[in-house]
Amino acid sequence: MTTAMWWILIGVVLIISELLATSIIAVFLGLGAIITGLALHFGLIESTTAQYTLFGLVSITLLLTARGKFKRWFSGFTADKDGEHGTVFQKDLGERVTVQTDFNQGAGRVVLNGVAWDALSDDPLKKGDIAWVVKNEGIRLTVSANRPQIAPKNS
């Protein structure tokens, strides 16, 4: 495999890893690697120094100029300052979840509406237990073995 193909492969892996990380950083590193691989493939650059320089410049430039816009696209709905509308995540409060993995040191996995979530809990939950959502931080739930006083919202 050529060096250009390695750069492109690394770029694709970084972009795919963004789906798991959701930090909106790896995608720009991935694009930098792909652009470096293409420049190398088409003979626009040759030396190792030029490869790393192009990778760094493209990645940092994209990160600084485009990350804010991308982050807004992927962050979802947020409430305004006075809290008039609440957040989309509020609808999950009080919902019932099934524990998918035993909670170890307060962390485990639960299933909410057919989707597996990372979750935190102060309760010693075991696989198969029923728990209730008490907080939703977007990518992680906080759950409790005791049903909260919050009624689920059906909206």
Instruction: Tell me the mean pLDDT in the region 28-34.
Output: 93
What is the structure's pLDDT at 85? 43
Q: Does residue 18 carry a pLDDT above 50?
A: yes
Q: What is the CA radius of gyration of the chain?
A: 22
Least confident of 24-28, 48-52, 135-139, 149-153: 149-153
Q: What percent of the chain has pLDDT over 70?
A: 81
Please give the Cα distance from 5 to 34 (Å, whole number): 9
Full-model pTM = 0.47
Q: What percent of the chain has pLDDT over 90?
A: 45
| Domains annotated on the chain, with CATH | 3-75 (no CATH), 88-144 (2.40.50.140)
Instruction: State the DSSP H helix or E strand holding residue 131, giving kind and residue range, or none if neither.
Output: strand 130-136
Please give the Cα distance from 46 to 39 (Å, whole number): 9
Please give the Cα distance from 110 to 24 (Å, whole number): 25
Listed residue (52, 38, 44) closest to 2, CA to CA: 38
Please give the Cα distance from 52 to 49 (Å, whole number): 5
Please give the Cα distance from 143 to 99 (Å, whole number): 10
Unique residue bearing structure tokens 């120094």: 49
What is the structure's pLDDT at 1? 83
Please give the Cα distance from 136 to 88 (Å, whole number): 10
Q: What is the pLDDT of residues 99-143, one digit of tens each?
A: 999 998 889 999 988 888 899 999 999 999 999 988 888 788 899
Q: Does residue 2 carry a pLDDT above 70?
A: yes
The DSSP string of 75-109 is: H-----TT-SS--GGGGGTT-EEEEEEEEETTEEE
Q: Does residue 80 carry a pLDDT above 60?
A: no
What is the structure's pLDDT at 26? 86
Cross-strand bridge partners of residue 107: 104, 120
What is the structure's pLDDT at 154? 54
